Amino acid sequence: MTVVVVGAAIVSDGRVLAAQRAEPAALAGGWELPGGKVDPGENDLDALVRECEEELGVLVAPGARVGGDWPLNGDYVLRVWLARIVSGVPEAKEHLALRWLGSESLYDVAWLEADLPVVRAVENLLREG
């Protein structure tokens, strides 16, 4: 059975928000787009909004989807949407750190390998936008 993980490419002023993983140990220190697993009975966009609220303390409005299903390890797939913050200021509640990255600094952090194709797609959107 496929497990869906949602991710938010939160964009503000031409920059995207990156989050540094705290756990599990194998992924700790790596950078990702914020998000998490979709709970049973929950739709993808509701999960995206919930995860951003839990992880960052912000309310987001999802926008356009970024690509299709991005494969992760095992039976996991990542689904990503562009998002904008409606209210709140992002805080690293479940991450080690947060950083806003523009197209010129997008690769200044060590992205998790699974997130790199998504980051490249987001980079193209930042350059277009």
pLDDT digits (tens, 9 = 90+) for 17-67: 999 999 999 999 999 999 999 999 999 999 999 999 999 999 999 999 999
- pLDDT at residue 6 in the model: 98
Structural domain total, the chain = 1
- pLDDT at residue 40 in the model: 95
- pLDDT at residue 111 in the model: 97
- pLDDT at residue 129 in the model: 63
Coil, helix or strand at residue 116: helix
Q: What is the domain range of residue 72? A: 3-128
Instruction: Check if the beta carbon of residue 83 is closer than 8 Å to that of residue 60.
Output: yes
For the whole prediction, is pTM greater than 0.85? yes
| Residue for token pair 């995206």 | 48
Q: What is the dihedral of CA 21, 26, 111, 77, to 10 degrees?
A: -90
CA dist 117 and 114 (Å) reads 7
Mean pLDDT of the chain: 95
Give the amino acid at 24. Answer: P
pLDDT band at 73 (very low <50, low <70, confident <90, very high): confident
Residue 115: CATH number of its domain: 3.90.79.10
